[in-house]
Structure 1
Amino acid sequence: MLDYVVIGGAQAGLSMAYHLQLMKKKFVVIDGEGEIGASWLNRWDSLKLFTPTEYNHLPGLKFDAPKGHYPTKVEVANYFKSYVEEFNIPMQLNTLITSVRKTEKGFHITHKNGEIKAKNVVVATGPFHIPYTPPCHTKVSENTLQMHSNYYKSADQLQEGDALVVGGGDSGYQILNEVSKNESRTVYFSGDTTVRSLPQHILGKTLWWWFTLVGFLSYSKYSWIGKKINSSTQPVIGTDVKGILARKNVIAVGRTKDALNDNVIFENKKVSSIKNIIWATGYRPNFKWIEGLELDANSYPKNHRGVSNIKGLYFIGLPWMYTRGSATLGGVSKDASYLAKVMSGGK
């Protein structure tokens, strides 16, 4: 029986593995993908981190890139591979976990090819589980190409004709920016046009330098200011929202309300010329495969700084698990350090 099984091999799982190595625990990191870093490699081609190199270090190994550089998804994946090699982290890929069950003797972790037993489990699967697409997508004409942003790679995937991007977060605006660079294509946008946009540099310093200075990423979700930040609409970082919306071929149409064949119905109008739809409409969490787990109103596990209601079951990498930085590449280290202390009997 292993001391620990870590489920998820991206930044959260690797950060936890680093501490388990220091604690000389017998463990394995399990991931459903066939390659280290696949969770990043599977995203769109032009993706870059919002954070510069100096804010992306996992514990024990610096991100090998110049200060001020914004890494690509390939560079992140390569960093993960170097991390695994540097610390000789035991990995088991191509292993999708289907259930976790607590018994009197420990945990039974089941996958399609068998079962693993461990005294403790750390779930590090992150916040992006099930791509969410509004129900009205089933009413759209089969001649319209539809895809969730999870499957978007580049504008080359699109067919001829007008496009629609739905979703006003970072992903939605980045994809809108890329798709609308082709001035011959009309691109409709369905999302929040009042969202704040923050540049990556202010007065010669990176945005993250300022965030660190004022403690923006370190406020606890239990504090007054943390609750205020968590409940507010998050700004779009590093993308010129106003500039994109001002392009002649970009038309904001308000919220998507319904669809019927070629007609897509919005708050402000009805459009029948759309041939491509990219749904940048987020994800829904899925933790139903963990028996006996208590979930909160948003379907995330109830926990205190990663400690769940089930003894021996821990979480890391969840959004706002403790601070706004909990689900970020550079912010997960603090949560991993805290959990390591808890696992060692500290507080």
Structure 2
Amino acid sequence: MLRPVNQNKPSTVPTIFHTIIIGAGQAGLAAGYFLKEAGEDFLILDAHERVGDSWRKRWEGLRLFSPQRYNALPGLTPPFGEWHLPSRLELADYLEDYARHFGLPVRNLCTCVRARIKNDSPETGERTWEVTTNDGTFLTRNLIVATGAYSTPTKPEAIADSFPADIRQLHSSEIRNVADIADAETDVLVVGAGASGQQLSRLLLDTGASVTLAGPTMGNLPRSFLGKDIYWWLYNTGVITLRTDKFPGKLLLNDGAGDVTVGEPPLPAAIRRIKTHIARYSEGSLRCKCEKTAPDPIEWPKSGKKGVVLWCTGYKNLYPWLPTEMMDEDGRPLLDSGRSEKYPEVTFIGQPNLLRPSSSLVGGVGRDAKALLSK
């Protein structure tokens, strides 16, 4: 529960905010909306130069799966029509317009370095948090972590280390324009066959590069079903808003259960497909985990071409700036329905499957923010 600030304090005491939000993406802005509606004194800290930059810095050609009808933050309808699939730049501009429209107090170019307990009063149960940034130190009673679902790129290090130094390796988060990394003289291995892997493979093929896409086949929902967009069905059946901290929603948290793409067309025949995991690279060949799917070593890169590995292997959400006692042994926050088990005044918003399958989606963060901030 967010704790009220004691307003009966001497004027010589430094300002203590009711809440500080770390991150001005969709989750942080949604939280800011409800705090402003409640009349609370709060501040949003964000490392980027502009609101929406986390989307602007993603690769050209990226579009959301979800149509605008399901991309609204609380109180402001996004532009371009309800069935439009927005580009990364359109979404970035919507987030920036949203912060401006509601006058949300965002402090840009402000990176959180550490958050720790400054004062802890066993008598009153009040704690004051000190948030240290590159742009000053701030005090708050409540802390909202809204740093997004894509904060720390990850790849399988042991497999990555098996490639020689002359083969360039990048994570999908590093890509802006595929033409910067590939041309007709390039043979690109894309590892990870989800939406990003498939979409980037198509764009890489357009550069003239040879492309191999590796990874198990993922479920692909149709763009429409019985004349309705698939998101209409997901929302109207309640599947995407089902609570994942309760039965039967917990079943959606089974490993890989929610990993699907939406409306992805068949891959061009020119993209070589390996439908299993890469185990290692050895002597000019890819070795695979499943011998039934790929029984023999696969030569790569093609003779005379330079090899590039593109890891589309997702993200982890790590919080080295928070107290370690809040985390499990893998660095993941220990949560009870979105709140820290150790310090309930610390709330997380925008994580995948936090409360629902829609918890990290643009159109889902508002529902979570309202539920968590109204308690």
Do they superpose with TM above 0.5?
Answer: yes
Match of 2:298 among 270, 293, 301: 270
Q: Distance in 2 between matches of 1:239 and 1:225?
A: 28
Cα deviations by residue, 1:304-328 (Å, 9 ceiling, x for unpaired): 2322120321111111111000110
Partner of 2:100: 85
**C-alpha distance 293-38 of structure 1, shift in aligned 2 (>3 A):** farther
Deviation at 1:284, TM superposition (A): 1.7
Alignment of 1:83-232 (within 5 A): 83-102=98-117, 103-104=119-120, 105-135=127-157, 136-159=159-182, 160-181=185-206, 184-193=208-217, 195-231=218-254, 232=257
- With the length of structure 2 as denominator, give the TM-score of the two structures: 0.85
**Deviation larger for 62-71 or 270-279:** 270-279
Pair 1:327 & 2:351 matched: no
CA contact (8 A) 1:188 1:253 kept: no
- Please state whether the residue corresponding to 1:101 is helix, strand or coil: strand
Structure having the higher helix fraction is 1
Deviation at 1:272, TM superposition (A): 3.2
CA contact (8 A) 2:191 2:313 kept: yes
Deviation at 1:177, TM superposition (A): 2.6
Match of 2:274 among 241, 252, 256: 252
CA contact (8 A) 1:53 1:71 kept: yes
- Please state whether the residue corresponding to 2:248 is helix, strand or coil: helix
Q: Distance in 1 between matches of 2:239 and 2:260?
A: 13
Deviation at 1:114, TM superposition (A): 2.9
CA contact (8 A) 2:201 2:213 kept: yes
Match of 2:46 among 31, 54, 62: 31
**Deviation larger for 52-61 or 308-317:** 308-317
CA contact (8 A) 1:190 1:255 kept: yes
- With the length of structure 1 as denominator, give the TM-score of the two structures: 0.91
How many residues are treated as equivalent by the alignment?
Answer: 337
Q: Distance in 2 between matches of 1:248 and 1:315?
A: 43
**Consecutive unaligned residues in structure 2, runs of 5 or more:** 1-15, 121-126
**Deviation larger for 271-280 or 173-182:** 173-182
**Deviation larger for 314-323 or 266-275:** 266-275
Q: Which is higher, the Rg of structure 1 or of structure 2? A: 2
Deviation at 1:261, TM superposition (A): 6.9
CA contact (8 A) 1:56 1:329 kept: yes
- Please state whether the residue corresponding to 1:211 is helix, strand or coil: helix
**Consecutive unaligned residues in structure 1, runs of 5 or more:** 343-347
Partner of 2:12: none
Deviation at 1:176, TM superposition (A): 2.0
Partner of 2:9: none
Cα deviations by residue, 1:195-248 (Å, 9 ceiling, x for unpaired): 2111222222111001112111111113333122221252211212xx21x613
AA aligned opposite 2:37 = L
